[in-house]
Amino acid sequence: MKKPLLFFIFSILLFSCSSKKKRSVLKKVEKKDDYFISTKVKKIKKFNPYSLKNLNFKKYKNKRYEKENDYYKHSISNSNIVGKESLDLYTYSEKMKTLGEIKEPIAVAANYCYLNRIDQGLDVLDKIYFSYKLQSKYWNQMAVCYYLKGDYRKADIYFNKSLSLNKNFVPSINNLGVLYNKRKFYQRAFETFNKSSKTNSFSVTPILNKAQLLLKFNLYQAACPVFETLHKEDSFNKDIGHGLGTCYLLKGEYSKSLAIYRDLKINLKDDEIPYVHYLVALKLMGRYNEIKTLISNVKANFRSKYARRIFDFARSR
């Protein structure tokens, strides 16, 4: 009789100990769970994402996709033959002038990003996401903003997103080449520019970019005829003029180079490399007085070491 009674008492004690352990474990778990609850929210009022009051059922009108309108309607410079296809070929004053005039939201976002007000540009794009998410130009502009921000990985993703909607969208193909060039993937950049120019034979920007890439590697014999052809079409474009002026310098045709640079409206702040090449052309023509006049009131705070080095060469005698 004693053995069953002892066994019964022992089992009760064992059960009570184990229940205490369980309670202590549960308390520890509850304490850990507290870390996942905001300190501003009472424990009895945990945030419920499935609650109706926490859901937004606002209906957005999706803008109907029209392939023929999937491009930038508002070019900052109508006279610029590469204006509608390039990443950024505009001066600060041109951007400021048009910021208040343009109403199309993607163009407004573009201006903000080019003015280095990138967060404002991205905010505009976020607000129109549901209306424009099926359009290649939307994702292209998103990529351009991240490119200008220096986030090249996201730029790559969004350029490819744009092309997933329309594989023949020339601005994104070309801009992807610009991105490859920036990241020093030169062969991929050249191949992408080739693809862009083949996709649209009337597209000028990839042709200009190919010529600039050739010039970068001193292949001016292949680049110069391209710049000459483009210059006939648009003699006021700084990028085309600078390319042709550099070509003439490399070919030893200094008077032609000087004539090209004189016709360009060069601003030291925005165009430091064309500016120093202009000075080199003057030096090689022996126009030292003109160099002295040009640099007399200039504070040469150059961004690139190359420009600084060429400037020092041009002003030395």
Residue 53: the pLDDT is: 52
Residues contacting 147, CB < 8 A, separation 6+: 87, 155, 175, 178, 179, 182
Say how far apart CA 116 and CA 15 lie, in whole Å: 70
In this prediction the pTM is 0.65
Residue 90: the pLDDT is: 43
Would you say residue 43 has pLDDT above 80?
A: no
Mean of per-residue pLDDT scores for the chain:
76
Give the tens place of pLDDT for each residue, 283-316: 999 999 999 988 887 777 888 899 999 999 998 8
Q: Residue 210: what are its φ and ψ, rounded to 5°? A: -65, -45
Region 74-96: what's the mean pLDDT?
43
pLDDT band at 158 (very low <50, low <70, confident <90, very high): very high
Say how far apart CA 73 and CA 84 lie, in whole Å: 8
Residue 62: the pLDDT is: 57
Region 189-206: what's the mean pLDDT?
85
pLDDT band at 102 (very low <50, low <70, confident <90, very high): low
Asked if 236 and 262 touch (Cβ cutoff 8 Å), the reply is no
Domains of the chain: 86-203 (1.25.40.10), 215-317 (1.25.40.10)
